[in-house]
Amino acid sequence: MKANCPFCTVPPERIVIERPSAFVIRDAYPVSLGHTLIIPRRHVASFFECSADEQLVLLELLTLARDAIHRELQPSGHNIGINDGSAAGQTVPHLHIHLIPRYAGDSPDPRGGVRWVLPEKAAYWASS
């Protein structure tokens, strides 16, 4: 646990689902309605630093969070992502999985999804 880490010091009232080794919160800066984060309690930067048991709990919570979002908001789809390392855009060096609900019509052309992190390579279907 690190005192200056925003995910090591999450107030308990922000936690929507929890397990001893991980928890779920809504993103403080949501990309879409229901944007949620799944976070291990242990301060690790990368998914690959987690034990197999921790990874299983994170995936269990991902599914539980998705189910809760569906009951509440009925999205049409999801983007699921991890920014693993500064080159991948990670700004908080504590692993967190983004679960971003997507809604029909929220983007003029959602094709490519997470591929848009490198826009020049995203629309692979247009170059064939």
pLDDT value at 119 more than 80: yes
pLDDT tens by residue, 81-104: 999 999 999 999 999 999 999 999
Residue entry with tokens 């229901």: 34
- Stated pTM of the model: 0.93
Known active-site residue 43: no
**Average pLDDT for residues 49-60, to the nearest whole number?**
98
Q: pLDDT category, 128, cuts 50, 70, 90?
A: low
What is the C-alpha separation between 80 and 57, in angstroms, rounded?
Answer: 16
Q: Which structural domains are found in the chain, ordered by start?
A: 12-126 (3.30.428.10)
Q: What is the pLDDT of residue 19?
A: 98
Q: pLDDT category, 57, cuts 50, 70, 90?
A: very high
Return the exposure string of 43-69: e unless at least 16 CB atoms fall within 10 Å of the residue's CB, then b.
eeeeeeebeeebeebbeebbeebbebb
123 to each of 78, 104, 126, how far by Cα in Å?
19, 19, 6
Catalytic residue among 78, 94, 96, 98: 96
Q: pLDDT category, 35, cuts 50, 70, 90?
A: very high
